[in-house]
Chains A and B, each alone.
Chain A
Amino acid sequence: MKHLDEYRDAETARRLAASIAREADTPRRYRLMEFCGGHTHAIFRYGIEDLLPANIEMVHGPGCPVCVLPTGRLDMAIRLAKRDGVILASYGDMLRVPGSQGQSLLKAKADGADIRMIYSMLDALKLAETNPDREVIFFAIGFETTTPPTALAIEAAAKAKLANFSVFCNHVLTPSAIAAILEAPAVRELGAVEIDGFLGPAHVSVVIGSQPYEFFAEEYRKPVAISGFEPIDVLQSILMLVRQLNEGRAEVENQYIRAVTRDGNLRAKQAVSRVFELRRDFEWRGLGHIPYSALRLKDEYASFDAERRFDEPYIASEGNKACACPAILRGAKKPTDCRLFGRACTPETPLGSCMVSSEGACAAYYTYGRMREPTQ
């Protein structure tokens, strides 16, 4: 792990922090949105905000797959899991996310539903192979990083004629969410937030490349710095954004050059386009309905699509009305602006999805940063 030490080096961090402080010593404010939950997590886990001057504000974005899934989709997963003969394979993060009426996958599991916590897509395939008399449904969530493995698994299942395997697909698209934050009327009505620049996703960009962000830089005059997940990466990217803003530039810059190219991973993108097509509409928690913002299985793979295979309808649900997750996901509120935060809603008793995932802004605030709040 020598290569990791390099990106967590205290001396380098101090030097970068000094440069940021010097160059951001201007009368303006810098409101920078880190899109990705991975960055939110890194910012709190390493205490990066302690190294930034007061006029740089990090705004936490919606790039947390667990957080943006609307309650109605979680309800669907719970209904699927409760069907006779079904094994629902899910990543551990999803188990504690609250659905409607205080339901969760963890509670469904305690009630007798067969829900298995898995660490990789391959585990779900293995479950299907070893349980031929059961229906194995993989609860697929995530942005562009996790979509290619799901595509490859579906292709593998098709090739092996695995008749008892299907995917409950909740894969969503990063550029659509950024566009929604910048312009969608729905979001504007919900209360938009002024953002000066974006810290671009790390792993997502490995797959999709830096090219998709060029539109945002050109059309909305917002600088983008694609950033790795290590603390040195984040500090370097913040410095890049400060420089762009000081110089009046709005470009896509790539700090994460050790992994991200302009075109991304062609083979991964091809696998995704072989198996998936755009959904006409998908509801996001916090961002509302965004057209063409998510994926579904192509018709030729319909038998692997759990929604169609089990004819499970989407029923929209509001979730807890007092929960400020929707506004937090748009960057319009901070976790501590929510009156449930740290009181009724904690990682042990989450009332909103942002308190569940380690990539959620509320969980990051609570777990790593709540000593900053005088009221707590």
Chain B
Amino acid sequence: MNVASRPKRLAAHRLDLATGRVDLTHGAGGRAMQQLIEEIFRPAFDNPMLARGDDQAAFDVAAGRMVMSTDSFVVSPLFFPGGNIGSLAVHGTVNDVAMSGAQPLYLSAGFVIEEGFPFAELQHIAHAMGEAARVAGVAVVTGDTKVVERGKADRLFINTAGIGVVPPGVEISGDRARAGDAILISGSMGDHGVAIMAHRAGLEFETTIVSDSAALNGLVADMVAAVPTIRVLRDPTRGGLAATLNEICHQSGVGMRLDEAAIPVKPEVLGACELLGLDPLNVANEGKLIAIAPADDAARLLDVLRGHPLGRDARVIGNVIADPARFVRMTTRIGGERIVDWLAGEQLPRIC
């Protein structure tokens, strides 16, 4: 065996993953940084493009339309019921890419780590990212690591960017909603935001709510295959359903009419919102989508959604109407009417 050809370990000792912590040398571009990448990130993301160790990932470009998106994650706390900042960073960008109808392919990952961050937690988060990427069928192919002094970041921030390919014939955009179209959602509203708020320091209360954080690209693939006429897809993250529908109304120059009784909200989420004085329609989701399609295709689309594990509780919640004022109107449970408005100000910072 040719000993010289075996890659040589850079460091004399392996990282102390049980009790060790990130220090400033791990972001300094030297051996320590290389060791952090090799012992924590590379095994977690494990793919040939990353393993080549270049400063960039190289891949062939598919024919057709490509889409690209990026998102930064500063969620506090880093670990919450139903996920952590790592899985969220994958789901968030995968979903942003998928909301064009695209199949997401590759992700980048940038880490800003505060000095003193435990290796064990970093490894846990990296593994969650790798696992989330594998489940979503995407690869983390390039990345970056920076370490900043204590107090210059709150423990860990992650940025991810993603690219994907749109299948031919699919034309999905927020400006394509038309009067008469049906509005569908894939499940209950507010789970992620309430799960985070429930565990935020100083605001702990007993709840069984788990974040809905999930990659929606599999669901989207089924939807666009069955109903290629879908006009708009969007995931109602920050600002919740209310903000997302208002965005679409503004982009498309239309109004909407919703039926409050048709919008699923879990009783525990509703209870927590009562306690905190929030409207569940303003609370963030990380594994739900809104779909707008011609009314004639709504029944078929609903069937596809309900046939997928992430769309079991899907509903038609209303329809697009012509309205120069671009209001999202809602018939309330008791039969009155109100506007569903954007949220003014910040409900709770650092929800994702």
> B312-333: contact bitstring with A at CB < 8 Å (1 yes, 0 no)?
0000000000000101010111
> B204-229: contact bitstring with A at CB < 8 Å (1 yes, 0 no)?
00000000000000000000000000
* Closest chain B residue to A96, Cβ basis: B345
* Given A13-B334, A348-B344, A371-B203 contact (CB < 8 Å): no
**Interface residue B169 (Cβ < 8 Å from any Cβ of A):** no
Choose among A1, A119, A358, A368 the residue that contacts B274 (Cβ–Cβ < 8 A): A1
Complex contacts, B267 vs chain A, CB 8 Å: 1-2
**Alpha-carbon distance A1/B339, docked complex (angstroms):** 24
**Alpha-carbon distance A217/B341, docked complex (angstroms):** 39
Q: Would you call A4 and B274 a contact (CB within 8 A)?
A: yes
Q: Nearest Cβ distance between residue A163 and chain B, in whole angstroms?
A: 22
The total of Cβ contacts below 8 Å across the A-B interface reads: 90
Q: Nearest Cβ distance between residue B274 and chain A, in whole angstroms?
A: 7
**Alpha-carbon distance A126/B261, docked complex (angstroms):** 41
Q: Would you call A119 and B270 a contact (CB within 8 A)?
A: no
Q: Nearest Cβ distance between residue A357 and chain B, in whole angstroms?
A: 10
Q: Nearest Cβ distance between residue B196 and chain A, in whole angstroms?
A: 14
**Alpha-carbon distance A371/B341, docked complex (angstroms):** 11
* Closest chain B residue to A49, Cβ basis: B336
**Interface residue A231 (Cβ < 8 Å from any Cβ of B):** yes
Q: Nearest Cβ distance between residue B66 and chain A, in whole angstroms?
A: 35
Residues in A1-60 with C-beta less than 8 Å from chain B: 1-2, 4, 8-10, 13-14, 17, 44-51
Complex contacts, B341 vs chain A, CB 8 Å: 347, 366-368
**Interface residue A123 (Cβ < 8 Å from any Cβ of B):** yes
Q: Would you call A347 and B345 a contact (CB within 8 A)?
A: yes
Complex contacts, A120 vs chain B, CB 8 Å: 202
Q: Nearest Cβ distance between residue B182 and chain A, in whole angstroms?
A: 21
Complex contacts, A191 vs chain B, CB 8 Å: none
**Interface residue B64 (Cβ < 8 Å from any Cβ of A):** no
**Interface residue A370 (Cβ < 8 Å from any Cβ of B):** yes
At the interface, is chain A mostly helix, strand, loop or mixed?
helix
Complex contacts, B338 vs chain A, CB 8 Å: 44-47, 368-369
Q: Nearest Cβ distance between residue B243 and chain A, in whole angstroms?
A: 13
**Alpha-carbon distance A13/B335, docked complex (angstroms):** 8
* Closest chain B residue to A373, Cβ basis: B325
**Alpha-carbon distance A17/B268, docked complex (angstroms):** 29
Q: Nearest Cβ distance between residue A86 and chain B, in whole angstroms?
A: 19
**Interface residue B58 (Cβ < 8 Å from any Cβ of A):** no
Choose among A9, A50, A367 the residue that contacts B339 (Cβ–Cβ < 8 A): A367
Residue of B268, B335, B337 with most partner-chain A CB within 10 A: B335
**Alpha-carbon distance A173/B243, docked complex (angstroms):** 37
**Interface residue A376 (Cβ < 8 Å from any Cβ of B):** yes
Q: Nearest Cβ distance between residue A58 and chain B, in whole angstroms?
A: 12
The tally of residues in B whose CB lies under 8 Å from a CB in A reads: 26
* Given A4-B274, A96-B345, A48-B334 contact (CB < 8 Å): yes
Q: Would you call B339 and A51 a contact (CB within 8 A)?
A: no
**Interface residue B276 (Cβ < 8 Å from any Cβ of A):** yes
**Alpha-carbon distance A22/B333, docked complex (angstroms):** 22
Q: Nearest Cβ distance between residue A320 and chain B, in whole angstroms?
A: 18
**Interface residue B82 (Cβ < 8 Å from any Cβ of A):** no
Complex contacts, B335 vs chain A, CB 8 Å: 10, 13-14, 17, 47, 50-51
**Interface residue A340 (Cβ < 8 Å from any Cβ of B):** no
**Interface residue A195 (Cβ < 8 Å from any Cβ of B):** no
**Interface residue A278 (Cβ < 8 Å from any Cβ of B):** no
* Given A10-B261, A347-B345, A50-B336 contact (CB < 8 Å): yes
**Alpha-carbon distance A14/B333, docked complex (angstroms):** 11
Residues in A80-132 with C-beta less than 8 Å from chain B: 92, 95-96, 118-120, 123, 126
* Given A45-B332, A45-B338, A47-B332, A347-B271 contact (CB < 8 Å): no
Q: Nearest Cβ distance between residue B349 and chain A, in whole angstroms?
A: 9
Complex contacts, B168 vs chain A, CB 8 Å: none
**Alpha-carbon distance A376/B327, docked complex (angstroms):** 11
**Interface residue B151 (Cβ < 8 Å from any Cβ of A):** no
Q: Nearest Cβ distance between residue A364 and chain B, in whole angstroms?
A: 10
**Alpha-carbon distance A368/B329, docked complex (angstroms):** 9
* Closest chain A residue to B276, Cβ basis: A119
**Alpha-carbon distance A232/B270, docked complex (angstroms):** 17
* Closest chain A residue to B340, Cβ basis: A368
Complex contacts, A366 vs chain B, CB 8 Å: 341
* Closest chain A residue to B266, Cβ basis: A1
**Alpha-carbon distance A118/B339, docked complex (angstroms):** 28
> A334-359: contact bitstring with B at CB < 8 Å (1 yes, 0 no)?
00000000000011100000000010
**Alpha-carbon distance A346/B339, docked complex (angstroms):** 15
Complex contacts, A96 vs chain B, CB 8 Å: 344-345
Residues in A199-252 with C-beta less than 8 Å from chain B: 231-232, 235
* Closest chain B residue to A106, Cβ basis: B345
Q: Would you call A46 and B334 a contact (CB within 8 A)?
A: yes
Complex contacts, B332 vs chain A, CB 8 Å: 45-47, 231
**Interface residue B29 (Cβ < 8 Å from any Cβ of A):** no
* Closest chain A residue to B277, Cβ basis: A358
**Alpha-carbon distance A177/B327, docked complex (angstroms):** 36
Q: Would you call A8 and B334 a contact (CB within 8 A)?
A: yes
Q: Would you call A368 and B339 a contact (CB within 8 A)?
A: yes
* Closest chain B residue to A50, Cβ basis: B336
Q: Would you call B327 and A371 a contact (CB within 8 A)?
A: yes
Complex contacts, A49 vs chain B, CB 8 Å: 336
* Closest chain A residue to B271, Cβ basis: A1
* Closest chain B residue to A52, Cβ basis: B336
Choose among A2, A10, A92, A370 the residue that contacts B333 (Cβ–Cβ < 8 A): A10
Complex contacts, B329 vs chain A, CB 8 Å: 371
Q: Would you call B339 and A119 a contact (CB within 8 A)?
A: no
- Please name 8 further chain A to chain B contacts, defined as beta carbons within 8 Å, in addition to the given A1-B267, A347-B344, A347-B345, sorted by A numbering: A1-B274, A10-B335, A17-B335, A47-B335, A47-B337, A367-B344, A371-B325, A376-B325
Sampled A-B contacts (20; CB under 8 Å)? A1-B274, A8-B334, A13-B333, A13-B334, A44-B338, A45-B279, A47-B335, A49-B336, A50-B335, A50-B337, A51-B335, A51-B336, A92-B345, A96-B344, A119-B203, A126-B202, A231-B334, A232-B334, A368-B341, A371-B329
Give A contacts to B, CB under 8 Å.
Answer: 1-2, 4, 8-10, 13-14, 17, 44-51, 92, 95-96, 118-120, 123, 126, 231-232, 235, 346-348, 358, 363, 366-371, 376
